[in-house]
Amino acid sequence: MTTPVMELVDVHVVHKTRTGGLFRPGTVRAVDGVSFSISRGETVGIVGESGSGKTTMARVLVGLQPATSGQVLFKGEPLRYNAAARRKLGRAVSVVFQDPATALNPRMVVREQLLDPLNVHNVGEPNQREERVRELLRLVGLPMSALDVMPRQISGGQRQRVAIARALALEPDVIIADEPTSALDVSVRAQVLNLLADLKEALGLGMVFISHDISTVRHVSDRIAVMNRGRIVESAPAGQLFANPADEYTRTLLGAVPSLLRPKES
Ligand SMILES: Nc1ncnc2c1ncn2[C@@H]1O[C@H](COP(=O)(O)OP(=O)(O)OP(=O)(O)O)[C@@H](O)[C@H]1O
Ligand SMILES: [Mg+2]
């Protein structure tokens, strides 16, 4: 068996909150004993309602949030949080957020947005970088005319494609996508979802696909983990989870799916 790219073992994250007194700060157990792994070539969906800890867990997976306790392993070794280790992790694990605007610099044209990670990590010669930028645009299905536009000049769906291209720039092993379609217009959600699924297939990536909506992750995930109050309450192959949910909370989530999207029961 290959070593997972990222592995969490009994990870807890406790956030301090603004409520609570000076001497007894309030705390939230955002992630409460999660074990999880992601390898190249597999797609894992993480679902759960708002506040269940999905984003906090994603931040741990990309090294933005240290665990309060438990182990965070990067390619089998405990993750360190110094600059060199972060750089290495940043190349191997990249992230696509809900709102592409947060991932893009509003004052940079698309070409510069995509060159930026290549420059920062000193990848190849300048002309190879330019070629890589064009290749990235092709990968995400954008025309070459997009090279010279600002993020605000293109649609939300196209902006998310640019953010995805940027996430792919350094040939990561894994992409963590945190609600990547929920800020987009309904009409383009399926396109962006399919793009991520196609890229995962074509590039052999690992993908963690986070959503509050179980029907969104269903068709793109090999395995689905259900989160509730900071814990993974059930994790199973996607088909099995839908056909035969073991956990009460999973059944509640499935019940909340609009009937239009549920498979026919006859
Ligand atoms: N920086 C922080 N400081 C304090 N509390 C936080 C912080 N970040 C998250 N929390 C709390 O941790 C819990 C988990 O939040 P998190 O954002 O991980 O959930 P989520 O599943 O991503 O929710 P959503 O679906 O709304 O994005 C929530 O109770 C949240 O209020
Ligand atoms: Mg979130």
pLDDT tens-digit series, residues 67-124: 999 999 999 999 999 999 999 999 999 999 998 888 899 999 999 999 999 999 999 9
Q: What's the confidence (pLDDT) of residue 25?
A: 73
Mutate to test the pocket of ligand 1, among 52, 64, 212 (most ligand atoms within 8 A of CB): 52
Q: What is the mean pLDDT of residues 239-253?
A: 90
Residue 4 has pLDDT above 70, yes or no: yes
Q: pLDDT grade, residue 17 (50/70/90)? A: confident
Residue 266 has pLDDT above 50, yes or no: no
For ligand 1, which residues put their CB under 6 angstroms from it? 15, 17, 28, 30, 48, 50-56, 212
Q: What's the confidence (pLDDT) of residue 263?
A: 53
Q: What is the mean pLDDT of residues 165-182?
A: 96
Sketch out the chain's domains with CATH numbers: 6-20+27-257 (3.40.50.300)
Q: Give Cα 33 to chain centroid, integer Å.
A: 20
Mean pLDDT of the chain: 92
Point out the least confidently predicted range of 37-46, 154-163, 164-173, 255-264: 255-264
* Strands of the 6-20 sheet, one edge to the other: 25-38, 6-20, 69-74, 77-78
Which residue in the block uniquely carries the two structure tokens 């969490």?
8
- Residues 108 and 150: their CA atoms lie apart, in Å, by 6
Residue 181 has pLDDT above 70, yes or no: yes
Q: What's the confidence (pLDDT) of residue 257?
A: 55
Q: Find the 257 Cα to ligand 2 centroid distance in Å.
A: 19
Q: pLDDT grade, residue 16 (50/70/90)? A: confident
96, 178 Cβ separation under 8 angstroms:
yes
Point out the least confidently predicted range of 106-110, 242-246, 254-258: 254-258
- Residues 185 and 199: their CA atoms lie apart, in Å, by 21
Atom of ligand 1 nearest to the CA of 55: 22
| Closest residue to atom 16 of ligand 1, CA basis | 53
Residues of the chain with pLDDT > 70: what percent?
Answer: 94
Q: Find the 9 Cα to ligand 1 centroid distance in Å.
A: 20
